[in-house]
Copies of this chain bind each other. A is one copy, B any other.
Amino acid sequence: MAADINSVTIVGRLTRDAELKYTNSGSAVTGMSIAVNRTRKDGDQWVEEANFFDVSLWGRRGESLNQYLQKGTRIAVTGELRQDRWEQDGQKRSRVVIHANNIQLLGGNSPGQGTPGQGFSGNNQRPNQGYQNSGNNSYNNVSNNKPSYENYPSGNAGGSGNFEDDIPF
């Protein structure tokens, strides 16, 4: 019956550059992998343990943030837990993904503490080879090629944008 409460907030660092892709229907989806540290007692000593989670951010906000979402960047994420389901070799598979509603840049390699858009001109020179595509990518029909907008009448994929996606970072 109806929508259940589902809320997640984590802080962590990206384990690699974010990947911006587009579904067949033209939606932008930015995929990330985040390392969230926790400390636990091992005997009488504190040890650090990393947990790795997948994050996806849909829509224009990911298009804007993508250039800052580089390996090592510290971010805070709020969103909800989702289960991604797909078939592989006739086998049903699933993974838990954090579906982000909002991402905040917190520094690290990112401009979170400086002035965004300043002094980062070199960031995207480094080609994004897309080698992260290997592995358990579960998005259907996702490509790295930005669609020409003419093909998407509704224009929501990368067009003039709606309220949420225009939030400055």
Q: Are B5 and A11 in contact (CB under 8 A)?
A: yes
How many angstroms between the C-alpha atoms of A166 and B37 in the bound complex? 16
Q: Are B104 and A4 in contact (CB under 8 A)?
A: yes
Q: Are A83 and B52 in contact (CB under 8 A)?
A: yes
Shortest beta-carbon distance, A44 to chain B, in Å? 10
Q: Given the complex, which residues of B lie within 8 Å of A38, measured CB to CB? A: 3-4, 6, 80
User: At the interface, yes or no: A126 with Cβ under 8 Å from chain B?
Assistant: no
Chain A residues near B (Cβ < 8 Å): 1-12, 36-39, 41, 46, 48, 51-53, 74, 76-78, 80-83, 94-96, 98, 102, 104-108, 112-113, 163, 166-169
Across the interface, A3 reaches (CB within 8 A) one of B37, B41, B98, namely B37
List the 5 closest A-B pairs by CB distance, nearest first. A96-B96, A9-B9, A51-B83, A5-B11, A4-B11
Tell me how many chains of this kind the complex includes.
4
Contact flag A107-B104 (CB < 8 Å), given A11-B4, A38-B4, A53-B96: no
Shortest beta-carbon distance, A75 to chain B, in Å? 10
How many angstroms between the C-alpha atoms of A85 and B66 in the bound complex? 30
Q: Given the complex, which residues of B lie within 8 Å of A94, measured CB to CB? A: 52
